Structures are given as C-alpha cells and as structure tokens.
C-alpha cells in the first residue's frame, strides 16, 4: 500500500529536505511527518493522504533541496539473495504502469558502492516486469516513471513519480565532465545551473554569442569561462587575478573592484555572482541590480549558514519577491541546491 514519499537529497541536508516537503504539503492541505537519519541522503515522508495525488500536486521544480522523489511502497527488507525479483513482482503490480525504471542509491560513500548492484538488479527486474506485462516496452508512452532505490543487497524501496513532475536523471543528478581548460571546478556550478534553469531549446537565444555579461567575484574565472564559451563579452569583477587564458580571448575586461560596489556603465544581458558572503548581503546586492534594471537575467549563489539553512534560503527568496512585487517588476525566481553545490544554493532571476 502506498503511503509515503521518498525524497533524495545531498547527504547532510535531510533536515532541509524534510522542512520543505512539510511546508509544501501543508500548503495544499495535506498532513504528514518526515523520518530520516542524518547523513543518509534521503527522507521518507509519511502521508495522511494519497501519495500519488500529492506527488502530482506539489510542483517538483518548486523544491530546492529535493533532488529526486517518488511515491513509494513500504521498505522491502531481508529479501532473499537467491531470488529478490520474484518477491517484488506482485507489490509492483499495484503501482501505476510505467515504461522505464531508474536504478538509484543514496548519494553517500556506502550508497555509491551499491550503484553497480542496483543497476544489475534494475535490469533483471525490468526484464521480468515486461515479461509479466506489468511494465510497458521501453519506447512506450507512460505517465509514470518507476524508481528502484537500493539501501543494501537485501533492503530497498520501489516507487513511481510522474514523468512530467520529477527528474529523468537517476538520483536527480546531472553528471558533468570537468573541462580541463577551465580555471576552477566552480565552472561546473554555472553549467549545471544553465541545464536546470534554462530549457535546452532556448540556449541559443538566451546564451548565444554576442551577449554581454558581468561576473561578480570572478577570480580566477570559472564562471567567466562558461560565459566566454557561449560567446559572450564579459566584465569580470574581482580584486584577485584572472586566468591569463581568459584574458587572451579578447572577450574579457577585468575590473579590479569590490563586487559589492561595481556598477555597469550600461545594462547587460547576464549577471552572475558566486561571492562568498552572508546570504542576506548577497541578496541585497542582487536586488540592487534587479531594481536598477542593470541586467536581463542573473544566476547567483547564496552561501548557507551552519544552521537554519532552509529558513535562510526562504528568507532571502522572500526578500526578493517582496521587493520586486512592491516595485511592480515582472520576474521569475527559482532556486536549486545543485549537485555541484555544497553549502550553497543557486538562484536564477529572470527579469526579461
């Protein structure tokens, strides 16, 4: 019987994951309570409502700390090692029909060691499900996606998520290859942000060559590198040195100034910011850019405090919402704890 949501997150952020799903369920009039183990990388949210209904009503992309989710069956424990699949077939038949099965594990050291096993089990399970007519062929159209979440060789969850209200990536993780030419690994944060916030079909229009950008707190140039790669002309603001390879492109002007005081001579297409400072101070600076119309779009990171991280993010987002609403400025604001983020959340503000 379905009665729970399984929510995956970065290890150490279970409390934030639990807090936001509790808030979102409360907003639609649904009660429940979270269960989790710190550093486990997932939360189980027990519902006093139909999980299949809830997982369709809460917008997945409105969640900040939840990477992946599904409405799940109760935990399967002590599965026989000689025939795990057979015991799973009848319970799975209760789930909505799907055509794909994602093999997933907690994003922890122990969990990642289980990933090859999870993949093999998922392959064997999918084959049996299709033979029994419980699962559709791979290329069939289905409204649901099945998840196999493995905790050990004998313990696992199975559930489903709506294809249009979830992530198609196993564990909700977009794995990107670090480009060797980039000056720092922080470059992956901006690349992942574009994948999450901007539909691929719009990249040529919104990120295409010839646009102008400002990178606040740029040195040594990990985010500037991504902007240059897209063909943009960039003003990189930082008192620290920029990578020589970037300066040699002819697309970068280095302004040795404090990122909190720089003002552009004229509006630009993009502003990006990965400054390490208090989230409220960064938020106030982003608002200054938005209220003055200095850019069309921005991506910025909020460095999280040690405690009350979910509360800090919500306060910053509310600060932006209140100010832009008062100014009657049209906008779209989104936030996401990306895979390449650590103690930070990435935000996108679209002011077009």
DSSP codes of every residue in 197-228: HS-GGGHHHHH-TT-EEEEET-TT-HHHHHHH
Which of 172, 203, 229 is where one domain is finished?
172
Residue 181 lies in a domain: no
Beta-carbon contacts of 290 under 8 Å, excluding residues fewer than 6 positions away, are 298, 320, 323, 324, 329, 331, 349, 351
- Tokens representing residue 256 in the block: 């040795």
- Identify whether the C-beta of residue 36 lies closer than 8 Å to the C-beta of residue 43: yes
- Could you list the active site residues? 303
Same domain, 200 and 142: no
- Based on the fold, state whether residues 198 and 128 are members of the same structural domain: no
Integer angstrom CA distances of residue 53 from 2, 4, 7, 9, 323: 11, 11, 16, 22, 34
Whether residue 131 sits in one domain with residue 11: yes
Kindly state whether residue 177 falls inside one of the protein's structural domains.
Answer: no
Can you give the pLDDT at residue 188? 97
Domain range spanning residue 55?
4-172
Q: 182 in a domain, yes or no? A: no
What integer best gives the mean pLDDT of the chain? Answer: 97
Q: Report CA dihedral (59, 65, 71, 76) to the nearest 10 degrees.
A: 170
**Are 248 and 282 part of one and the same domain?**
yes
209 pLDDT higher than 90: no
75 with 157, same domain: the answer is yes
Same domain for 266 and 128?
A: no
Let me know if residue 130 belongs to a domain.
yes
Distance (Å) of CA 282 to CA 9, 91, 139, 226, 324: 25, 49, 46, 21, 16
Asked whether residue 210 is domain-assigned, the answer is yes
Residues ≥6 apart with Cβ < 8 Å to 26: none
Q: pLDDT tens, 134-163?
A: 999 988 999 999 999 999 999 999 999 999
Q: Out of 139, 172, 205, pick the residue that ends a domain.
A: 172
* Same domain, yes or no: 124 and 254: no
| Pair of tokens at residue 10 | 């970065």
What is the number of domains present in the chain?
2
Over 90: is that where the pLDDT of 208 sits?
no
What is the rounded (10 degree) CA torsion for 191, 315, 262, 298? 30
Q: Per the domain annotation, does 333 fall within a domain?
A: yes
What is 24-65 written as a DSSP string? HHHHTT--EEEE--TTSSEEEEEESS-HHHHHHHS-GGG-SS
> CATH code at 292?
3.40.50.150
Tens of pLDDT, residues 75-85 = 999 999 888 99
Q: What is the pLDDT of residue 101?
A: 97
- 319 pLDDT band, cuts 50/70/90, is very high
In this structure, is residue 41 part of a structural domain? yes
Q: What does the alpha-carbon distance between residue 87 and residue 242 come to, in Å, rounded to a whole number?
A: 59
Residue 46's domain is classified under what CATH number? 3.30.70.2810
> Quick check: 6 and 72 in contact, CB under 8 A?
yes
Among residues 141, 172, 203, which one ends one of the domains?
A: 172
- For residue 254, what pLDDT is reported? 98
Q: Which residues pair with 303 in a beta bridge?
A: 344
Tell whether 142 and 193 lie within a shared domain: no
Q: Does the pLDDT at position 46 exceed 90?
A: yes
Angle of helix 14-27 relative to helix 309-326, nearest 10 degrees, comes to 50
220-251 pLDDT, tens digit per residue, is: 999 999 999 999 999 999 999 999 999 999 99
Question: In this structure, are 215 and 311 located in the same domain?
Answer: yes
Asked whether residue 164 is domain-assigned, the answer is: yes
Do residue 318 and residue 259 come from a single domain? Answer: yes
Q: Are residues 270 and 305 in the same domain?
A: yes
- Asked whether residue 345 falls in the same domain as residue 206, the answer is yes
Give the pTM.
0.95
């Amino acid at each position: 019987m379905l009665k729970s949501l399984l929510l995956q997150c970065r290890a150490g952020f279970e409390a934030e994951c639990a807090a936001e799903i509790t808030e979102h369920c409360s907003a639609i009039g649904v009660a429940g309570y979270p269960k989790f183990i710190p550093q486990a990388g997932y939360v189980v949210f027990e519902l006093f409502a139909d999980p299949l209904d809830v997982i369709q009503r809460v917008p997945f992309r409105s969640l900040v700390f939840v990477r992946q989710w599904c409405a799940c069956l109760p935990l399967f424990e002590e599965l026989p090692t000689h025939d795990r699949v057979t015991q799973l077939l009848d319970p799975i038949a209760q789930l909505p029909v799907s055509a794909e099965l994602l093999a997933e594990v907690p994003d922890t050291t122990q969990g990642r060691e289980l990933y090859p096993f999870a993949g093999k089990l998922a392959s064997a399970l999918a084959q049996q499900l299709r033979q029994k007519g419980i699962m559709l062929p791979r290329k069939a159209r289905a409204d649901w996606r099945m998840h196999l979440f493995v905790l050990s060789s004998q313990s696992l969850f199975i559930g489903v998520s709506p294809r249009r209200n979830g992530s198609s990536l196993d564990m909700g993780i977009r794995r990107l290859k670090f480009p060797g030419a980039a000056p720092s690994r922080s470059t992956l944060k901006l690349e992942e942000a574009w994948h999450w916030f901007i539909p691929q079909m719009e990249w040529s229009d919104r990120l295409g060559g010839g646009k102008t950008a400002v990178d606040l707190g740029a040195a040594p140039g990990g985010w500037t590198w991504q902007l240059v790669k897209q063909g943009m002309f960039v003003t990189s603001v930082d008192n620290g040195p920029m990578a020589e390879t970037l300066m040699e492109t002819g697309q970068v002007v280095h302004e040795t100034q404090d990122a909190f005081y720089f003002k552009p001579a004229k509006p630009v297409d993009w502003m990006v910011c990965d400054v390490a400072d208090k989230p409220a101070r960064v938020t106030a600076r982003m608002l200054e850019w938005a209220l003055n119309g200095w850019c069309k779009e921005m991506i910025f990171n909020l460095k999280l405090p040690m405690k009350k991280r979910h509360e800090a993010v919500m306060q910053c987002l509310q600060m932006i919402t209140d100010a832009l609403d008062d100014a009657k400025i049209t906008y779209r604001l989104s936030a996401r704890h990306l895979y390449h983020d650590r103690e930070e959340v990435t935000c996108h503000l679209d002011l077009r």
